[in-house]
Amino acid sequence: MALKTWRELPTGCVVFEPGSASEYHTGSWRSQRPVWNNQKCIKCGICYVYCPEGCVQQSEDGFFQADMDYCKGCGICAHECWPRAITMIEEG
């Protein structure tokens, strides 16, 4: 997406498209990613509750995964996971 010039900005930078923040992929900020060990996971959903981006989703089998388009790699899910099923690993 081409960046707008200063002349093309709307007055006061008002955003007229609701929900357009989803077009911004905060996943590009990430230096670490969460990896779930489903043998330890008890499907409690605390990672889902605590994720500040709301990017943790539950799969049909009841386990969890993060949407890497939005996961910033903050590690809160790993910190909160009390069965220690989530490990943060360095991005390549």
Partner 1 sequence: MAKRIGMEVAVAVAEAVGLCDIDMAAVYPITPQSHIAEHLSDLVADGKINAEFVTVESEHSAMSAVIGASGTGARSYTATSSQGLMLMHELLPIASAMRLPITMAIANRAVSGPLNILNDHSDIMPQRDSGWISIFVENAQEAIDMSIIAFKIAEHKDVMLPVNINIDGFQLTHMVEPFEMPTQEEVNKFLPPFVPHATLHPAKPVTMGAFAMSDYFAEIMKAKNEALKNSKKVILEVWDEWAKLFGRGYKPVETYMAEDAEVLMLTMGSMGETAQMAIDALRAKGVKAGLIKLRLWRPFPFEEIKAAIKNAKKLIVTDRAVSFGGPGGPVFSEIKSALYAETHRPAIYDYIYGLGGRDVPVSDFIGMFERVLEDTGNKLVDTYEFWGVRE
From CA 44, how far away is CA 21, in angstroms rounded? 29
Residue 34 host element (H or E): strand 32-36
- List the structure tokens of 22: 């989803």
Amino acid (1-letter code) at residue 70: Y
Q: Looking at beta carbons only, is 10 or 92 nearer to partner 1?
A: 10
Q: Looking at beta carbons only, is 11 or 31 nearer to partner 1?
A: 11
* Residue numbers at the binding site for partner 1 (CB under 8 A): 3-7, 9-16, 18, 21
For the CB of residue 16, give the shortest distance to partner 1 in the complex, in Å.
5
Q: Looking at beta carbons only, is 8 or 60 nearer to partner 1?
A: 8
CB neighbourhood size of 49 (10 A): 11
Amino acid (1-letter code) at residue 69: D
For the CB of residue 92, give the shortest distance to partner 1 in the complex, in Å.
24
For the CB of residue 79, give the shortest distance to partner 1 in the complex, in Å.
24
